[in-house]
Structure 1
Amino acid sequence: MNILMGIIGILFTFFLAWLVSSNRKLAFKKWKNIVILLALQLVFAFILLSTGAGQFVIEGLANGFNALLGFAAEGVGFVMGDLMVGEDGGVADVFFFNVLLPIIVISALIGILQYTKILPLIIRGLGILLTKVTGMGYLESYNGAASMLLGQSEVFISLKNQLPHLPKHRLYTLSAQAMSSVSLSIVGAYMTMLDPQYVVTAIVLNLFGTYVIVHILNPYDVTDAEDEADVDDNPDAGKSFFQILGDYIMDGAKVAMTVAAMLIGYIALIAILNQVFLLIPGMEITFQDVLGYIFMPLAFLIGIPWSEAQQAGSLMATKLITNEFVAMLDYTAIADDFSRKSQAMISVFLVSFANFSSIGIIAGSVKGLHDGSGNKVATFGLKLVYGASLVSVLTAAVVGIFA
């Protein structure tokens, strides 16, 4: 049954992408690339979710991030002092301390990897490998690898020399990759709210899923002349070690504070909307309940049982209109209400930057590097969220086969 619902979910996702395709005939011609990329998604989903080797890798990554969170707690504890002590004498259960502030430490480590040229080497190597299977140019392959490790703002810095020369369709692909990925600096934060195996699986599957959706929704061919990539994979060249370290520490702090501000604003606004709906005579459901009913058919068609589809749809919609952290916090409160399959599918759906607020972040980041390119990104903002959300839907449908 899982396999049948998974196939239905995958085909339904393809149909939703094809409906808004910029070139439906060319999309059909990309079927070989789509099949290869989908096969890679299925293989990696099987390895990560159903094999001992996959579990070993995930356990190692989870232990590594847990260790980093422990080290981060030393720094947070020194600054926050008694605020870190709970009523029982243990560590206080404060989201800002335990989940957001550790982002600073992981960001600092990313800076060290950048300075030592380890991170650029990894990204360039993955980019070269991806060119063999994606059916796209090196620039799209390089950016796909970079998006998997860097934030949706930082990833465009290495492409600053290319941005002025890129047509709209290639900018769409690069932006979709940034929105469908997550930043390495916040992976540890995700792992405090979701099962690590689903976080890792989502990151890997979203990488290939973005190319699948783009081949359908935004198909194009790249000539050798167009693919002469002038990539600056070391934008921090010339800076000293402590300059780079300080920059990345401050970047991590900005991310932590930005997420905190968004959580305060979005959670409060949702609470207000929920209350407004309850004040309407005869209305006994909240704003989030309504969103759940709207997204309920989508959740069911990709494989989530009908009895759980309304709650799942509510979480999916919450992520779309707010951000993944808000949805994850809502999910952790009701996770036990779902079957294991639904837990897996919802978890992987939540792991990406696909939401409306990301339009402004990506467009603003690109605009800061090249004004004209930023304006182009802003014109396809809604289609960008649509495509990136379909990547999450496709990942959830694939995971549902093995959950």
Structure 2
Amino acid sequence: MDSMGDKDSMGVTNNAYELDHTDLRRSNPEFNNKTDYQVDYSHDHDLSVDRRETQENSEINKWIKRGLHLILQIAIVGYFVYATYHYHDINEYDCKYDSSIPLCGIRFCTGYGMLVLLLGFIYLALFYYLIFKPKLGLFLHKNYLHPAAVKWHIFLRKRAVSIACIVLLLALLVIYLVFETKDEPKKLYSLVAPCFFILCGYVFSTKRSAIKWRIVITGITCQFLLGIICIRWEVGRKIFECLGNKVATFLGYATDGARFVFGDYLIAEEVFAFAILPVIFFFSFFISVLYYLGAMQWVVIKLGWILQQILGTTVCESVTAAANIFLGMSESPLLIRPYIQKLTKSEIHSIMVSGFATVSGTVLAAYLSFGASAAHLITSSVMAAPATLAISKLYMPETEVSQTSSDTIELEKSEDASLLDAASSGASNAVPIVLGIIANIVAFVAFVAFLNGLVSWLGMLIGHEEVDFEWIFSKIFMPLAWAMGVPWADCDKIAKVVATKTIINEFVAYERLGALIDNGEIKARSAGIATFAICGFANPSSLGILIGSLSAMAPNRRGMITSVAFRAFIVGSIVCFISASFAGILLQEEEQQVVYDKIFAKLAHRNATY
């Protein structure tokens, strides 16, 4: 009570003081004239004026943006209308509903058809993100799609349901294989390699009791289904052929920059370091721009989410597997750099397998220059995405609890200050990549030449001069080539290509494969199988590069990284061999011959124009 009284009296006293002080100020004119006690309203007036001007400027800027958008839309629509009129005008037939030519003869991979696809995709995306998703999409996801997805996942987790789904899936695959190989039963030989490697995975698994067969079977099935879509299904094959041609055309523009810097002679003679490798500068430049804009992160996180939902793998390994479709083995882990410290041993193993089992877009042009099919290279990387997760979880299953989740992960953003800075740094960052490729090729080719000379000398002493180091490895890899579906007559040559990729690198392997195709020494289907088999970074130099890059991102995990590196190297190679086996089932000799005839005709025309 006393304290309450003290507080009340204090409050009264203070109020009285304030009232007395105010009265004193009012009654004393000299006191009123002192500027220290005058209330200055001019500052508030200036603030209100500034605020009003800011609002007006914001409104003006908003209307300017709307006006620019309107002008842009009018220009795009006007251009499309004129392009449509021009396209109709240059065609010799009338576009009618009952026309025998589908879609009025529009070729969606070139010219007007590509314009239709691009504009359709852009406006469909704008409609989805600006209108459908905020107005209706979020409501549908919250009230219907998400609850249905949760119930579906719970339903699939039931043991009986999982077993039934797996049995049904395997039955459908068997039925498809019967129809696919009824005219060429020898194609079934291609199943030997996948079955052998799956058996080896079970035998040499770090913990067989922890293997999640749902991930393994679903991942390998997705790999085969992607192969059917991209290779066997006519529409899918045309889409990937178109995509491959566009990628090849896009990367081909790097030749103009290389010719300007190095001159026509080095480009015309196709000197590897000057005519082929400069494309890495161009592609790195482009990827860095996409990374700065956030487009690369968006695509990768969406693909990673799809893999995570289908396979049930963790978010970091799923995102990295998706990123390796586009990026290299050193660049893709950068997307999850803050989380590498928290990854489990199995997750690090999966990330390394993803790097070894794919190639990056920066080196595609080099392979294309040797005669590789762009469609096959892209298809191989796409097929490898689910397979790397499946096979890696077979050889090293998860035994720990993941410390990352889709709710907590946030992909790294670009540190570049502007778009121009991103473009410049992207090109500059490619310098060590190019120098590393040159250094490794020189060193490893020289070392293998030394081993060839040494083994050849030893063979000469016993009367077998034909024996060298690569000959020995080719004989070791011959059963593997046969198990992937290569005809026995081509097994020796394909085995030597696979051995070259394993002990040197894929650049030299593709160069030798291109020479075999160009000289007609192997069948086109065998060449296609080999293209898939060597489409990965699993070679000794890449092993050191990946260990170094991951160790730099997580120094305290270096011991764990080095302990799983060699196993990941082997498993990454196995993923490529399984993709090649599935390609062996799906590829057709006649179709492949047409593909390679076109490729080498195009290369011959390009060389003739230089």
Q: Could you tell me the TM-score, scaled by structure 1's length?
A: 0.92
Structure 2 residue aligned with 1:73: 255
Structure 2 residue aligned with 1:88: none
Confirm whether residue 44 of structure 1 aligns to residue 226 of structure 2: yes
Structure 2 residue aligned with 1:303: 485
Residue range with higher mean Cα deviation, 336-345 or 225-234: 225-234
Match for residue 500 of structure 2 among 318, 321, 329? 318
CA distance in 2, matches of 1:94, 1:8: 40
8 Å contact from structure 1 (residues 139, 229) kept in 2: no
Match for residue 432 of structure 2 among 230, 234, 254? 254
Say if 1:141 and 1:63 are closer, same or farther in 2 by CA, change over 3 A. Answer: same
Structure 2 residue aligned with 1:181: 358
Amino acid corresponding to residue 575 of structure 2 in structure 1: V
Say if 1:224 and 1:292 are closer, same or farther in 2 by CA, change over 3 A. Answer: closer
Confirm whether residue 115 of structure 1 aligns to residue 292 of structure 2: yes
Say if 1:225 and 1:175 are closer, same or farther in 2 by CA, change over 3 A. Answer: closer
Confirm whether residue 205 of structure 1 aligns to residue 383 of structure 2: yes
Confirm whether residue 125 of structure 1 aligns to residue 125 of structure 2: no
CA distance in 2, matches of 1:274, 1:223: 48
Amino acid corresponding to residue 506 of structure 2 in structure 1: E
What is the CA deviation profile of residues 188-246 of structure 1, one whole-angstrom value per residue up to 9, with x for unaligned ones? 32222211222112111111211221121011267576536754423424522222212
Structure 1 residue aligned with 2:11: none
CA distance in 2, matches of 1:226, 1:70: 40
Within 5 Å, give how 1:82-231 maps onto structure 2: 82-84=264-266, 91-193=268-370, 194-220=372-398, 226-227=404-405, 230-231=408-409
CA distance in 2, matches of 1:271, 1:106: 32
8 Å contact from structure 2 (residues 456, 468) kept in 1: yes
What is the CA deviation profile of residues 239-279 of structure 1, one whole-angstrom value per residue up to 9, with x for unaligned ones? 22222212210122322222122222222222222222222
CA distance in 2, matches of 1:325, 1:49: 24
Say if 1:231 and 1:243 are closer, same or farther in 2 by CA, change over 3 A. Answer: farther
The SS at the match of 2:206 is coil
CA distance in 2, matches of 1:228, 1:291: 44
Amino acid corresponding to residue 382 of structure 2 in structure 1: V
Structure 2 residue aligned with 1:350: 534
Residue range with higher mean Cα deviation, 360-369 or 301-310: 301-310
CA distance in 2, matches of 1:238, 1:301: 48
Q: Which has the higher contact order (CA 8 A, sep 6+)?
A: 1
Structure 2 residue aligned with 1:269: 447
CA distance in 2, matches of 1:44, 1:222: 30
Amino acid corresponding to residue 253 of structure 1 in structure 2: V
Say if 1:226 and 1:156 are closer, same or farther in 2 by CA, change over 3 A. Answer: closer
CA distance in 1, matches of 2:406, 2:437: 37
Q: How big is the alpha-carbon RMSD for the aligned residues of Structure 1 and Structure 2? A: 2.0
Say if 1:203 and 1:342 are closer, same or farther in 2 by CA, change over 3 A. Answer: same
Task: After TM superposition, give the deviation of residue 123 of structure 1 in Å.
Answer: 0.5
CA distance in 1, matches of 2:261, 2:433: 18
8 Å contact from structure 1 (residues 136, 221) kept in 2: no
8 Å contact from structure 2 (residues 366, 507) kept in 1: no
Q: Could you tell me the TM-score, scaled by structure 2's length?
A: 0.62
Task: After TM superposition, give the deviation of residue 24 of structure 1 in Å.
Answer: 1.4
Structure 1 residue aligned with 2:179: none
Say if 1:225 and 1:275 are closer, same or farther in 2 by CA, change over 3 A. Answer: closer
The SS at the match of 1:162 is helix
Match for residue 240 of structure 1 among 406, 418, 435? 418
8 Å contact from structure 1 (residues 158, 231) kept in 2: no
% identity of equivalent residues: 24
Structure 1 residue aligned with 2:112: none
Structure 2 residue aligned with 1:53: 235
Say if 1:120 and 1:188 are closer, same or farther in 2 by CA, change over 3 A. Answer: same
8 Å contact from structure 1 (residues 321, 355) kept in 2: yes
Q: What stretches of structure 2 of length at least 5 have no aligned partner? A: 1-184, 588-610
CA distance in 2, matches of 1:211, 1:383: 14
8 Å contact from structure 2 (residues 190, 485) kept in 1: yes
What is the CA deviation profile of residues 58-84 of structure 1, one whole-angstrom value per residue up to 9, with x for unaligned ones? 232233233223321211111112434
8 Å contact from structure 2 (residues 307, 386) kept in 1: no
8 Å contact from structure 1 (residues 365, 374) kept in 2: no
Larger Rg: 2
Structure 1 residue aligned with 2:468: 286
Say if 1:223 and 1:309 are closer, same or farther in 2 by CA, change over 3 A. Answer: same
8 Å contact from structure 2 (residues 416, 422) kept in 1: no
CA distance in 2, matches of 1:277, 1:55: 44
Amino acid corresponding to residue 236 of structure 1 in structure 2: S
